Amino acid sequence: MKKEKHFNITVRAWRQAGPREPGKMVSYKVKDVSPDMSFLEMLDVLNDELLKKGDAPIAFESDCREGICGCCGLVINGDVHGPDEHSTVCQLHMRRFRDGDVVTVEPWRVKAFPVIKDLVVDRSALDRVMQAGGFISVNTGAAPDANSIPVDKDKAEEAMDSAACIGCGACVASCPNGAAMLFTGAKISQLAMLPQGEPERRVRALNMVAAMDKEGFGNCTNEYECEAVCPKQIKAANIARMNREFLLANLFSKR
């Protein structure tokens, strides 16, 4: 098998020293890039070169580097998480680029996700939306039998599909309105479809939607950009389910 040659690229990265500091795009030459490198490995190589020169490395977030945690949220050449469909940045490899390419790297551009430094943003707004959902009521004492609550197989699978959301924020970053309705809808749906989530079902919908609005996220206008970029392929049907849950909760709360 013929081995692909190494190549050179130019990285235009957003540099911002802090939340209240002005930011700008800065260009860097990256030489001898292997097509087998992941995008984050390429940034590691670039940062090593910057450190050797006495310059500050580019701050970016990552953890698992296996497409599980969603920390590595970046906008690459205008694409949320890069050009690969339904994937994260850590799964993007440099074979997707060619010698001489100019690669623009930016953080999420969302009001609710303020920039902390360079490519790192504060996504704690999603955590607060989750916290607003509260806990699931369970009986204390002896552990119940594993199968004591029967759950329809189709419902269980649908709930698990919604629960696959990793909270990366790609849906928010891709939405022209900066909406978090796919994320919130998935988190509401995963419990609304299961008997374990029934006791707090209505108050959960009210509280999570209220928290979402408080954080400054926009509203859905059916652009479907969120579904198109979601690494876990969460369906926009979760937004419709969230709206139904919210409307029903409002109706019952007024009785």
CATH of the domain at 23: 3.10.20.30
Residue 77: name the closest of 12, 7, 173, 170 by CA. Answer: 12
Give the number of domains in the chain: 2
Tell me the pLDDT of the chain averaged across its residues: 93
Same-domain pairing of 104 and 128: no
Cα separation of 25 and 48, whole Å? 19
Q: What is the pLDDT of residues 117-151, one digit of tens each?
A: 999 999 999 999 999 998 776 666 676 666 677 88
pLDDT at residue 143, rounded to an integer: 66
Same-domain pairing of 129 and 241: yes
pLDDT at residue 150, rounded to an integer: 82
pLDDT at residue 75, rounded to an integer: 98
Q: What is the DSSP string of 32-87?
A: EE-TTSBHHHHHHHHHHHHHHTTPPPPP---S-SSSSS-----EETTEET-SSTT-
Q: What is the pLDDT of residues 55-73, one digit of tens each?
A: 999 999 999 999 999 999 9
Host domain of residue 176: 124-137+150-253
CATH of the domain at 177: 1.10.1060.10
pTM of the model: 0.90
Flag whether pLDDT at 254 surpasses 80: no
Same-domain pairing of 12 and 113: yes
Q: What is the pLDDT of residues 75-118, one digit of tens each?
A: 999 999 999 999 999 999 999 999 999 999 999 999 999 999 99
pLDDT at residue 199, rounded to an integer: 87
* Res. 2 pLDDT band, cuts 50 70 90: low
Cα separation of 86 and 91, whole Å? 10
Is 42 among the domain residues?
yes
Q: What is the pLDDT of residues 209-240, one digit of tens each?
A: 999 999 999 999 999 999 999 999 999 999 99
Same-domain pairing of 182 and 233: yes
Q: What is the pLDDT of residues 158-212, one digit of tens each?
A: 999 999 999 999 999 999 999 999 999 999 999 999 888 888 999 999 999 999 9
pLDDT at residue 252, rounded to an integer: 81
Is 67 among the domain residues?
yes
Same-domain pairing of 26 and 45: yes
Flag whether pLDDT at 245 surpasses 90: yes
Same-domain pairing of 88 and 154: no
Is 129 among the domain residues?
yes
